[in-house]
Structure 1
């Protein structure tokens, strides 16, 4: 019995010493890049207004949480007319849907740098569970006296799952699969 109490006490003490860090997503160094089929090729772009909070224990990614938002109006494909077209009602409908939101529900780590992040992705008024394989790119000091963490994630979603109606049939000019690469840099909260 004494051994069991001692073991439980050590486990609780170890958990109490676990360090959870909070990182605020740095919007100037974080991006959600996408590509989608267009006619016979692909077109790509970036949402360059990403915000949110990541909490994690660097030694145990299973305890991490992520809440992130993307300003849909920040879409940038490098061509202004196309950006305005994408923002219109037929596609992103930025007048009605201003953000894409992600909130993690579970993290399953395979080691200290790789994990699969499951969570709720809300876009265009629809919420779906998604799995995002993520990689920790590193932790370190920045030139301004702060601490940073870098992350990369990849996923593919179906536009039709989120209520976008353009992707109908084999001859549709825009495809149904949207490939997304997340490049996120967080600044450790002081």
Structure 2
């Protein structure tokens, strides 16, 4: 009986492992977009160098795992002088803090396409636990013979929580809340 139970357990584990897929984040088709208050309006921009791996069972998002990195120097607001200004030590300090890192710790799925992803976000030398509602946009073949998956996530963070001093001074021209939209496209690992 013990041998039968062991064999069944091994079979179940093998089936679960077989259903897991890994997708390498495609840096040319993945973006971390942001918007932040500036004086009386908002400024937007994109970090367009996002890398990492998404591992999941498409039928059970509760088993998903994400590890991602954003190259902070890839910030692009559409205006070169502003980009250089916010890369300086007063704002992003890209010479000291080269990456924004994220590592998921838990997924809570409400369907096969929607979940809340919890994880550790490290930025500017500070690590905080965050929750990111995520949506699977789809799976499918690409024109180059590969398979892809698309994901979208949204979160709002406070710059002051990550040690950015610009948001704490009276009359600061740049706000504290940063709205982030993640648009991720992954290429299935072979």
Q: What range describes the TM-score normalised by the shorter chain of this pair?
A: over 0.9
Which residue of 2 is the match for residue 25 of structure 1?
25
Counterpart in 1 of 2:117?
117
Residue of structure 2 in register with 1:36 after alignment: 36
Could you say which residue in structure 1 is the equivalent of 2:151? 151
Partner of 1:173: 173
Partner SS, residue 175 of structure 1: strand
Q: Distance in 2 between matches of 1:169 and 1:92?
A: 17
Deviation, 1:7, is 8.7
Aligned equivalents of 1:12 and 1:152: distance in 2? 34
CA distance in 1, matches of 2:32, 2:8: 42
Q: Distance in 1 between matches of 2:140 and 2:39?
A: 43
**Equivalences for residues 53-132 of structure 1 within 5 A:** 53-132=53-132
Structure 1 residue 171: Cα displacement: 2.3
Counterparts of 1:10 and 1:114, CA distance in 2: 31
Q: 2: CA distance between counterparts of 1:154 and 1:12?
A: 38
Q: Tell me the distance in 2 between the aligned counterparts of 1:39 and 1:89.
A: 20
Cross-structure match for 2:14 = 16
How many Å separate the matches in 2 of 1:143 and 1:79? 33
Tell me the SS of whatever aligns to 2:165.
coil
Q: Deviations over 1:27-77 (max 9, x none)?
A: 000000000000000000000000001110000111110000000000000
- Distance in 1 (alpha carbons) for counterparts of 2:154 and 2:118: 12
User: Distance between the aligned counterparts of 1:111 and 1:7, measured in 2?
Assistant: 31
Structure 1's 110 and 6: CA in aligned 2 closer, same or farther, altered over 3 A?
farther
Residue 161 of structure 1 is matched in structure 2 by 161
Q: With structure 2 as the length reference, what TM-score do the two structures score?
A: 0.94
Structure 2 gaps, min length 5: none
TM-score (norm 1): 0.94
- RMSD across aligned positions (CA): 1.8
Deviation at 1:13, TM superposition (A): 3.4
Between the aligned partners of 1:105 and 1:179, the Cα distance in structure 2 is: 22
